[in-house]
Structure 1
Amino acid sequence: MRIGLLGTGPWAGMVYGPVLASHEGLDFTGVWGRRPEAAKELADRHGTHAYDDVDALLADVDAVAVALPPDVQAELAVRAARAGRHLLLDKPVATTAAGARAVAAAAEEAGVASVVFFTTRYLTETADWISARKETGGWFTGHARWLGSVFAEDGDSPFATPWRRQKGALWDVGPHALSVLLPVLGDVRRVSAAVPGPRDTVHLVLEHTGGASSTVTLSLTAPPAASGSALELYGDDGVVRLPEPTGSAADALSRAAGELLAAARDGRAHPCDAAFGLRVTEILADAEALLARSAGEPR
């Protein structure tokens, strides 16, 4: 599969570029970015071509991988789908339900495969754990905690990007938590509470369609010593915890790319396709509206 990369930021340079260049099922055809000099540097690093025009790249590939801010991603993903290109998207698909809905609709109308890269979901231990927990069932509540230190006072992260600063933990790490909770506990029927904590920290209470509930704590401003993720489920089998992953983000992306290849070949919808990405976006948008209401802001 000929694949192009849209984006030249830290995530593109550290993860997407190396994985696309080394994946045996992919022909890394080229890079397009909003900064042409960065696109050239990244393309040169991996022996591929830098494109000044995104439509020229789309004309030369079968699929695109997108490593751009979510609302930039949404616009270009619609464009790529309408050109008949398969989609390897990053989370969140967009930061508005309308933006994510446009992506899902374009992918469906064009009949292209789509996979959304929720990093945690594609790690082997997590994928196996989710499958086992779905089969077991009997869960009545769960708690997820995703605490990052991207914007900690003494932090210096390459991921302290403008869109993360604007949208915060809800939109950056919230998708990770939902990508694990939803397949086990079911879709979210209602976001019953969304409460702000220190800085960008958010606490959510979710009601799931199967009758279970869950709570989620998210932050990008936790002290570095307190950062990390954890997820626990409580049910008939007692308490079970999401295992500590041993793989890397590159391992996860390589698996996601392989699953895009399979979805494109078989024509079957992927569990984490653009439609699932839309549902995650809708839940986060509901939570954002509740937070705005609690802060006295207009919806």
Structure 2
Amino acid sequence: MRIGLLGTGPWARMVHAPALSGHEKVEFAGVWGRRPDATAELADAHGTRAYEDVDILFADVDAVAIALPPDVQAPLAERAARAGCHLLLDKPLAATVAQGRAVVDAARETGVASVVFLTTRFQPETETWIAEQADRAGWFTARADWLGAVFTTDSPFAASPWRREKGGLWDVGPHALSVLLPVLGDVRHVAAAGHGPGDTSHVILEHVGGASNTLTLSLTAPPEAAGATVELRGAAGVTALPASSAGALAAFGRAVDALLGAARTGKPHACDAGFGLRVTEILAAAHALLQ
């Protein structure tokens, strides 16, 4: 599979480009970005082509991997799908529900495969844990604290305009939902408990199976307090999301494998664009309540 990369920011440089260039089953066919100098630099670093015209890249590849802000990703993903390209997407899928639905519609109408890269879902230890808990009945309640220190350190993502605007709800919220939805089922009610320090938000979710959970999401945590905790309580007892030894680079390689499998078999992946849309719908509902 020939894969092109859209985006030249920190995430593209740190994860997408090296994972694509090092993957044995794909050809890293080119890069397109909004900054020509950065596009040429990233392409040169990985021995691939820099594209000035994104539509030419779409015509030259079988799939695209996207590392762009959600409001930029969604319309480009829709165009790529309508050009016949499979989609390896970042989270969140889109900045609005309408944008996300347009991507899903385009993928379904053209039959292209899609995978949304949610790091925790593509790490072996956490992927196995999620599957095991999803097979158990009787979950009563859960909590997820996903606390980043992006705005309190020298993180390369601190200058990201969309993260400044959307905050932890939209940046780390998808990670928490990617763990909870497969285990507790879809969400039937969303409530917002209020604001915390900085961009911190507190959200309460009621799931169709009857369980409820609380989310605390932030990019403003002190470095010493940063980290992710997911705890489930129910008839099976108490269990917590394990740590993973696999970093983002290895996880992205597994996401590439997932896209290859979905494209080959025609079977939708659990983290396809449709799942990304559902996550976007939940985030948008919480966001509206926090305004």
Give the TM interval when normalised to the shorter protein.
over 0.9
Deviation at 1:114, TM superposition (A): 0.2
Q: How does 1:48-67 map to 2 (within 5 A)?
A: 48-67=48-67
Deviation at 1:137, TM superposition (A): 2.0
Q: Is the 8 A contact 1:143 1:232 kept in 2?
A: yes
Unaligned runs of 5+ in 2: none
Inter-partner Cα distance in structure 2 for 1:261 and 1:164: 30
Deviation at 1:42, TM superposition (A): 0.5
TM-score by length of 1: 0.96
Inter-partner Cα distance in structure 2 for 1:105 and 1:270: 16
Q: How does 1:93-112 map to 2 (within 5 A)?
A: 93-112=93-112
Q: How does 1:148-297 map to 2 (within 5 A)?
A: 148-152=148-152, 155-160=153-158, 161-292=160-291
One-letter amino acid of the counterpart of residue 29, structure 1: A
Q: How does 1:17-166 map to 2 (within 5 A)?
A: 17-152=17-152, 155-160=153-158, 161-166=160-165
Q: CA RMSD in A?
A: 0.6
Deviation at 1:138, TM superposition (A): 1.4
Q: Is the 8 A contact 1:4 1:63 kept in 2?
A: yes
| 1:68-98: CA deviation from partner (whole Å, max 9, x where unpaired) | 0011000100000000100000000012101
One-letter amino acid of the counterpart of residue 158, structure 1: P
Inter-partner Cα distance in structure 1 for 2:16 and 2:86: 16
Deviation at 1:192, TM superposition (A): 2.5
Inter-partner Cα distance in structure 2 for 1:137 and 1:125: 21
| 1:218-268: CA deviation from partner (whole Å, max 9, x where unpaired) | 000000000000100000111100001111001110000000000000001
One-letter amino acid of the counterpart of residue 129, structure 1: W
Deviation at 1:286, TM superposition (A): 0.1
Inter-partner Cα distance in structure 2 for 1:202 and 1:275: 25
One-letter amino acid of the counterpart of residue 247, structure 1: A
One-letter amino acid of the counterpart of residue 46, structure 1: H
Deviation at 1:198, TM superposition (A): 0.9
Match of 1:215, SS state, is: strand
Deviation at 1:28, TM superposition (A): 0.3
Number of residue equivalences? 290
Deviation at 1:48, TM superposition (A): 0.4
Inter-partner Cα distance in structure 1 for 2:169 and 2:191: 15
Unaligned runs of 5+ in 1: 293-299
Moved over 4 A (4+): none
Inter-partner Cα distance in structure 1 for 2:144 and 2:104: 27
Match of 1:64, SS state, is: strand
Deviation at 1:136, TM superposition (A): 1.6
Deviation at 1:120, TM superposition (A): 1.1
Aligned to 1:6: 6
For structure 1, which segment, 184-193 or 60-69, has the greater mean C-alpha deviation from structure 2 after superposition? Answer: 184-193
Deviation at 1:193, TM superposition (A): 2.7
Deviation at 1:66, TM superposition (A): 0.1
Inter-partner Cα distance in structure 1 for 2:192 and 2:29: 45
Q: Is the 8 A contact 1:194 1:287 kept in 2?
A: no
Deviation at 1:194, TM superposition (A): 4.0
Inter-partner Cα distance in structure 1 for 2:193 and 2:155: 27
Inter-partner Cα distance in structure 2 for 1:190 and 1:102: 24
Inter-partner Cα distance in structure 2 for 1:165 and 1:135: 38
Inter-partner Cα distance in structure 2 for 1:265 and 1:3: 15
Q: Sequence identity, in percent?
A: 67
One-letter amino acid of the counterpart of residue 53, structure 1: D
